Amino acid sequence: MSGREKGHVSIIGLGPGAEGAVTPDAQAALGAAQDIIGYGPYVARVQLRPDQERHASDNRVEIERARHALDLAAGGRRVAVVSSGDPGVFAMAAAIFEALEADPARWEGVAITVIPGITAMLAAAARLGAPLGHDFCAINLSDNLKPWELVEKRLRHAARGDFAMAFYNPSSRSRPWQFARTLEILREECGPDTVIVFARNVTRDDERFAITTLAEARPEQADMRTVVIVGSSLTRLIERGADRPIVYTPRWAGMPPEGAA
């Protein structure tokens, strides 16, 4: 293998779901790849040519997937590792670099490129208006890779800091209680009229939005295909008659600029 030219790993974000939300850079990298690696449902989104090979795996084997991609590239292959949304947001870019840091000599000379994608929270925000128009944070509510106590700590600090918040992985069959607990924490820290939005399958044919308040929100409104956006104390609605209200957070905090509503 020492005399063979090293390959390349492209870590690609496929966007939230719609084909039109895949960037041209991502499409070009997919077209150049010989091997497509990723979680099964994400790999299935890629239309393969006969000369390309698909390597699908479970969603809890990220490090094994990363090592596989790097090994293929070390053998001279052009590899695309795909994630939903953006690969650097709760996805495969960090897993690739975790594997690389653990054994850098093994993959010395392998070129790695991260190609950004549109995240679910940004796609949802665009559909809604501009709920993330001021300071915001994103929190993964899954406790697969961190203790739930840390999730609660971060939730409280974000709420007390009056950030708008975007929640990924709010609920699953194995942990249905966690989003209910999230709502309890938010109700302890935020006002009952705080805007909360449930955005499911954003950009897909069956996308669905529910705009409500923290007082009215229910745990069953969120599942693993839902991104939840919680407004800050400044987030507001603009009613648009029969159309869905616009949700936005002003760019200012404290004293509004002259002419602001």
- Asked whether the predicted pLDDT for residue 2 surpasses 50, the reply is no
Q: What is the largest CA-CA distance in the chain?
A: 68
Residue 121 has pLDDT above 70, yes or no: yes
Which band of pLDDT confidence, cut at 50, 70 and 90, is reported for residue 214?
very high
Predicted confidence (pLDDT) per residue in 173-193, tens digit: 878 889 999 999 999 999 999
Q: What is the mean pLDDT of residues 55-81?
A: 95
- C-beta neighbour count of 160 within 10 angstroms: 10
Is the separation of the CB atoms in 249 and 261 below 8 Å?
no
CATH assignment of the domain containing 45? 3.40.1010.10
Assess whether pLDDT exceeds 60 at residue 19: yes
Clarify whether residues 78 and 133 are in a common domain.
no
**Residue 163, domain CATH:** 3.30.950.10
pLDDT digits (tens, 9 = 90+) for 232-248: 999 999 999 999 999 99
Beta-carbon count within 10 A of 5 CB: 8
Q: Residue 4: its pLDDT value, please? A: 59
- Which residues are CB-neighbours of 13 under 8 A, at least 6 positions away? 23, 26, 82, 83, 84, 85, 86, 87, 88, 91, 115, 116, 117, 118, 119
The domain boundary, picked from 63, 97, 118, lies at 118
* pLDDT classification of 171: cutoffs 50, 70, 90: confident
Q: Which pLDDT belongs to residue 1?
A: 41
Domain-located, residue 261: no
Q: Which residues contact 158 (CB under 8 A, 6 or more apart)?
A: 137, 139, 165
Q: Which domain holds residue 130?
A: 121-248
**In Å, how far from its chain's centre is CA 159?**
20
Task: Please name which of 133, 95, 90 lies closest in space to residue 9, comparing C-alpha atoms.
Answer: 95
pLDDT > 70: what percent of the chain? Answer: 97
Task: Answer yes or no: is 257 within a domain.
Answer: no
Q: Give yes or no: residues 241 and 179 share one domain.
A: yes
8's CB contacts (< 8 A; 6+ apart) are 73, 78, 79, 110, 111, 112, 113
Q: Which of 13-22, 57-66, 116-125, 167-176 has the lowest mean pLDDT?
A: 167-176
The verdict on 86 and 18 lying in the same domain is yes
Residue 218: pLDDT band with limits 50, 70, 90: very high
Q: What are phi and psi of 109, to 5 degrees?
A: 90, -10
For residues 80 and 142, membership in a common domain is answered with no
